[in-house]
Structure 1
C-alpha cells in the first residue's frame, strides 16, 4: 500500500509538472500558428493524465489480487503510520491549494489535478486507517488475517479510484468531439436567441454551443427576411454586442461567432 501511495504521488508530481508546462503553452497567444486557439489541448491533456492513472491503478490492483492468492504480506506498521500521517497532511494541503486555484483559473486541467491530489490524500488516509486496523488484529493475535490488510487496502482503493479517470476521459472526449455544452448554458443561450428573434422579427435561427477546456464556443446564425428589423451592419453589430454582454456570466473564455443570412442553407 505504501508503494502504491508513493508511486501514485510520484506519478502525480510528474503529471502536475507536465500540466503546468502545457497550461503555460496554452496561455501564450499565437494567432499566426494557432488561428483557432489551443483550447483542444486541455481535453487532450486530461485524457493523457487520466489514462496514465487508469493504467497505474489497474496494474496495482491486479498485483494486489495476486498477493492475496499468495497468502498476503507482513508490514512494519510503525513506519507505515508515520508515513501515512505525513502523507495525509501534505496531500490534503496540496488538494486544498489546487482546488482554490482551479476556481480562480477556471481550468479543467487544474480541476483534474486537484481531484488527483484528493485521491492521493484519500489513499494516505486509507493507509493510516488500514494499518491501525492491522495493529489491532495483531494485538488480538490474528496474525494470518493481518497479512491480508495491506493488499486488501490496495484492491479497495485502486478499484474505487478507477471511476475518476474513466469519468474524466469520457468528459474530455465529449469536449474533443464538440458535444453540446451542458443544459444550463444551452438554456440561457436559447432564451437569449429567442428574445432577439422576437424583438427584431427574425424568422429563424440556429445556435451551436460547445465547451472545450476553458473555452465556450458559441455560433449563432440568424435567418432574416425583408420584414426583419435587421437592415444594416450597425443593426447586426448591435445584436452581437447584446449577445456578448449577456453571456459574460458563464465565466469562460468565449469564442463568439454571429452571422446573418436570408438563406437557411448557409446556417445548417
Structure 2
C-alpha cells in the first residue's frame, strides 16, 4: 500500500520520465517535419523535465524536519519552486510567440502536415494518460508539487490536441483551393497556443507569491480550518491563518479570563 509520500515520489518520477521521452520525440520529429509547433512541444517537454527534477529535489527538502535554522521546516520551498516553474514556462511561451511572429513575417513555413498529424495524435494519448495519473495522485495526497506537475501536463495535452487539430486543418488546406495558406498554419497555431498558455504560468506565479507573502488560504479551505479551530475551543475570529507549502501556520490571540 503506497503512503502519501511514496505516491508523491512515484508521480514526480513518472512525470520526469514522461517529460524526457516527449522532449526527445518532439525535438526529433519537429526537426524532421520542420514544424515550429512540434519543436515548441519538444522544448516545453525538455523544460518540464528540468522542472520535474527540481520538484523531486524540492519534495525532499519540504519533508525535512524542522531545525534550529529552520524552526518551521522548509515548506516555503514548495511555493518557491512553483513560482520558478511558472516564470520559466512563461518565458518559453514568450519566446515561442516571438518565433511565430518572425516566421509569419518571413512568409510562413511549409510543414509535412500528415506526419505532424500522426505526432499530434500519439502525443495527445500519451500526455492524457500522464495527466490522468497525476490528477488521481494529487486528489489523494494534496501535494502542491504534484498539482503543479498536473498543470504542466494539462498544458502539454492541450498543446498536443491543438497540434493535431491544426495540422488536420493544414492537411485539408493543402488539398483545397486555399493551399497557399497552408504555410501559415504552423506559426498561427504557435501564436494562439502561446497566448492561451500564458494564463497558466501567470496563475502559478500569483498563487505562489500569495503563499510566500503568507496570505490567507482559499475561502473553501478556511471553512474547514475554522471548524477545526472551533473544535479546539478557540474563537476563529482571534486566529490568523496562512498556508505555506504543505504547512498551515496559525497565530492565536488568547484572552485571559
TM bin (shorter chain): 0.7 to 0.9
Q: Tell me which residue corresponds to 1:176.
A: 212
Q: Tell me which residue corresponds to 1:158.
A: 194
Q: Which runs of 5+ in 2 are unaligned?
A: 1-36
- For the aligned residue pairs, the C-alpha RMSD in angstroms reads 2.0
Instruction: Judge conservation of contact 1:205–1:223 (CA < 8 Å) in 2.
Output: no
Q: Tell me which residue corresponds to 2:157.
A: 121
Give aligned pairs, total: 220
Q: Tell me which residue corresponds to 1:143.
A: 179
Give the Å deviation of 1:214: 1.9
| TM-score (structure 1 length as normaliser) | 0.76
Instruction: Judge conservation of contact 1:206–1:222 (CA < 8 Å) in 2.
Output: yes
| SS of structure 1 residue aligned to 2:115 | helix
Q: Tell me which residue corresponds to 2:245.
A: 213
Instruction: Judge conservation of contact 1:46–1:169 (CA < 8 Å) in 2.
Output: yes
| TM-score (structure 2 length as normaliser) | 0.79
Distance 2:39 2:194 in 1: 13
| SS of structure 2 residue aligned to 1:35 | coil
Distance 1:192 1:124 in 2: 43
Q: Tell me which residue corresponds to 1:41.
A: 77
Distance 1:34 1:142 in 2: 64
Residue 42 (structure 2) pairs with residue 10 (structure 1): no
Q: Tell me which residue corresponds to 1:236.
A: none
Instruction: Judge conservation of contact 2:79–2:208 (CA < 8 Å) in 1.
Output: yes
Q: Tell me which residue corresponds to 2:15.
A: none
Distance 2:46 2:185 in 1: 23
For residues 44-74 of structure 1, the C-alpha deviation after alignment (integer angstroms, 9 at most, x for no partner) is: 0001111000000011011101211221110
Q: Tell me which residue corresponds to 2:256.
A: 224
Instruction: Judge conservation of contact 2:215–2:242 (CA < 8 Å) in 1.
Output: yes
| SS of structure 2 residue aligned to 1:170 | helix
For residues 176-230 of structure 1, the C-alpha deviation after alignment (integer angstroms, 9 at most, x for no partner) is: 01011222343454566678368xxxxx9621101111221122122122xxxxx
Larger RCO, structure (CA 8 Å, separation 6 or more): 2
Q: Which one has the bigger strand percentage?
A: 1
- Give the structure with higher Rg (CA): 1
Query: More displaced, 165-174 or 10-19?
Result: 10-19
Q: Which one has the bigger helix percentage?
A: 2
Distance 1:189 1:110, change over 3 A: closer
Give the Å deviation of 1:163: 0.4
Distance 1:147 1:210, change over 3 A: same
Instruction: Judge conservation of contact 1:210–1:217 (CA < 8 Å) in 2.
Output: yes
